[in-house]
């Protein structure tokens, strides 16, 4: 078999939670390696859907939880009815999940990092490992999964037009978005990007490809996801399209703004815009990359990819149908059943909400490979049932609004705008609430840059930065060190123990949750919306 297929609901418990030592596979030092679990077809962490960040010590006041766990005043109107704001800092885990299985968090990598030179890691990070992956999949006649090919993706300057459209005719389109706090901040380990692609019917009129039709449908989707009434668009001819898009009762030769429509346009005109939901067939491509570093110390998206992540909405489900799926998930948790992940072989996994997820990660040589079943199950921790997501996704709802947001990600063009529910900058607010520049409050560089000696955030200093690039980019030396730390995880192939590029053993992280842990105090629980006020 090409891939291990775990039976639905079948788990072999991890060393930390299993009493059956005969199942463990040990290396020469007596330690059970990640490779041993995978080779023996054993599940190490049945609760891999609980991200490492959920084990952060909040001490009753430090709250990184609110960006994932939310309940909303308009909860009944949203397709996401999870409403899990009460989970902020509550550590409501199963017995298995109460033991923190992300043991890479507690590894001091200082000596291993010292063995890798700056030149070595810089050369490593600038090697293209995406093109060989696509070539490998194209040459594999038995491969049954997606290929997600995008020519020159390792070098975005060659891959995309100014408006974000892929130059190779694949119809992927890149968008500029504000990275989610704070795991996706470059200062905490990685750079990244995101692309979206709508099905053929959204790109055509009378069965012929029309770029203007495609771009308008993408803008209509943005309005549906963000719940907007109007949005700016790239110059468009209503006369050419044959439809009044700004609702001024005229057909103009050029418009730069459109109004909310009931349906999409072109050959997709029979498909209604669904509130906060994507249509069937939409695809996302997301790369997680090393930190590129130039001689001047500027940080950019490196050519080498740590991961390539893919999502496709396999079918459209109504708000009512999704509510049933959320109910089923809640019932399973109430019955204390362990998480269940449906494995689809080459296609990846099914998240239970009509999304197929797949992912590729580096092997020991640095070549991208499909993630193993347990590695893929980790994806459901964020893309299944947490309260803050919009149709199980993050980045598109955080796209720079309107026409200026189409194009490859550029953090220099983004200011620290606030959430739609708040007044101050989102990143400023996050650092205030967390008490640091990462969930674990161990990013010393962020603490030294933005916090005073008493541990208080210098809000004025943060607020006066011209862009988020200045806020969340590491120094050259930290970038190189983070790359080296992650490279040691690649060498170990220990992703099931955690893929966060931590430099030293974490101190503000629980190894086991017990009744002694204080829940967050009420005044340190917050309402928040991932959508942003770009005005």
User: Does residue 7 form part of some domain?
Assistant: no
Measured N-to-C along each axis, helices 118-125 and 476-492 cross at an angle, to the nearest 10 degrees, of 70
Question: Which long-range CB contacts under 8 A does 226-231 form with residues at least 24 apart?
Answer: 226/397, 226/401, 226/531, 227/275, 227/276, 227/531, 228/260, 228/401, 229/259, 229/260, 230/257, 230/258, 230/259, 230/260, 231/257, 231/258, 231/401, 231/402
Q: What is the pLDDT of residue 30?
A: 52
Residue 284: strand pairing partners: 196, 311
User: Does residue 248 form part of some domain?
Assistant: no
Cβ-count burial 147-171 (b if 16+ within 10 Å, e if not): ebbbbbbbebeebbeeebbbeeebb
Torsion angles phi and psi, residue 263, rounded to 5: -125, 165
User: Does residue 535 form part of some domain?
Assistant: no
Q: What is the pLDDT of residue 316?
A: 98
Domain that holds residue 70: 21-118+309-524
pTM for this prediction: 0.94
User: Does residue 158 form part of some domain?
Assistant: no
How far is the C-alpha of 467 from the C-alpha of 68, rounded, in Å? 24
Tell me: the pLDDT tens digits for 316-364?
A: 999 999 999 999 888 887 877 888 899 999 999 999 999 999 999 999 9
Tokens 């996706």 belong to which residue? Answer: 184
User: Does residue 301 form part of some domain?
Assistant: no
How many separate domains does the chain show?
1
Tell me: the pLDDT tens digits for 187-230?
A: 999 999 999 999 999 999 999 999 999 999 999 999 999 999 99
Q: What is the pLDDT of residue 28?
A: 39
Tell me: the pLDDT tens digits for 116-140?
A: 999 999 999 999 999 999 999 999 9
User: Does residue 89 form part of some domain?
Assistant: yes
User: Does residue 276 form part of some domain?
Assistant: no
Q: How many other CB atoms are there within 10 angstroms of residue 389's CB atom?
A: 20
User: Does residue 129 form part of some domain?
Assistant: no
């Amino acid at each position: 078999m090409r891939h291990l297929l775990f039976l639905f609901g079948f788990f072999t418990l991890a060393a930390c939670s299993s009493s059956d030592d005969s199942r463990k596979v040990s290396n020469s030092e007596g330690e059970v390696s990640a490779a041993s679990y995978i080779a023996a077809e054993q599940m190490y962490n049945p609760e891999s859907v609980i991200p490492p960040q959920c084990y952060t010590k909040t001490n009753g006041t430090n709250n990184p939880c609110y960006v994932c766990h939310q309940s909303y005043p308009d909860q009944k109107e949203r397709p996401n009815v999870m409403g899990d704001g009460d989970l902020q800092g509550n550590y409501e885990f199963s017995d298995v999940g109460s033991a923190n299985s992300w043991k890479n968090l507690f590894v001091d990598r200082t000596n291993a990092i010292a063995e890798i030179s700056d030149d070595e890691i810089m050369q490593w990070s600038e090697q293209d490992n995406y093109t060989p992956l696509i070539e490998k999949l194209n040459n594999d006649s038995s491969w049954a999964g997606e290929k997600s090919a995008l020519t020159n993706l390792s070098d975005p300057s060659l891959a995309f037009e100014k408006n974000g459209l892929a130059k190779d005719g694949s119809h992927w389109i890149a968008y500029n978005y504000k990275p989610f706090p704070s795991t996706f901040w470059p200062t905490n380990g990685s750079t990244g990007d995101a692309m979206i692609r709508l099905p053929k019917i959204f790109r055509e009129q009378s069965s012929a490809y029309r770029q203007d039709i495609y771009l308008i449908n993408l803008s209509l989707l943005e309005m549906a996801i963000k719940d907007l009434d109007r949005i700016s668009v790239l110059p468009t001819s209503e006369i050419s399209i044959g439809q009044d898009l700004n609702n001024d009762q005229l057909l103009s030769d050029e418009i730069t703004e459109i109004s909310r429509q009931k349906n999409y346009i072109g050959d997709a005109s029979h498909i209604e815009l669904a509130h906060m939901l994507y249509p069937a067939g939409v695809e996302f491509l997301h790369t997680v990359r090393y930190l590129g570093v130039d001689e001047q110390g500027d940080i950019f998206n490196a050519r080498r990819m740590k991961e390539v992540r893919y999502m496709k909405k396999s079918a459209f489900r109504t708000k009512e149908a999704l509510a049933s799926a959320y109910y089923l998930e809640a019932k399973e948790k109430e019955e204390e059943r362990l998480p269940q992940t449906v494995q689809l072989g080459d296609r990846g996994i099914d998240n239970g909400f009509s999304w197929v997820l797949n992912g590729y990660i580096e092997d020991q040589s640095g070549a991208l490979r499909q993630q193993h079943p347990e590695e893929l199950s980790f994806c459901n921790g964020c893309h299944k049932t947490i309260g803050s997501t919009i149709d199980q996704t993050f980045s598109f709802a955080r796209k720079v609004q309107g026409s200026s947001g189409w194009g490859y990600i550029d953090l220099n063009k983004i200011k620290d705008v606030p959430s739609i529910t708040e007044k101050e900058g989102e990143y400023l607010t996050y650092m205030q609430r967390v008490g640091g520049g990462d969930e674990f409050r161990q990013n010393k560089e962020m603490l030294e840059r933005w916090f005073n000696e008493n541990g208080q955030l210098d809000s004025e200093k943060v607020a006066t930065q011209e862009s988020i690039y200045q806020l969340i980019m590491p120094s050259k030396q930290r970038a190189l060190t983070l790359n080296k730390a992650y490279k040691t995880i690649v060498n170990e192939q220990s992703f099931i123990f955690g893929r966060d590029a931590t430099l030293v053993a974490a101190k503000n992280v629980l190894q086991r949750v017990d009744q002694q842990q204080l829940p967050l105090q009420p005044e340190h629980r917050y309402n928040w919306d991932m959508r942003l006020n770009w005005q």
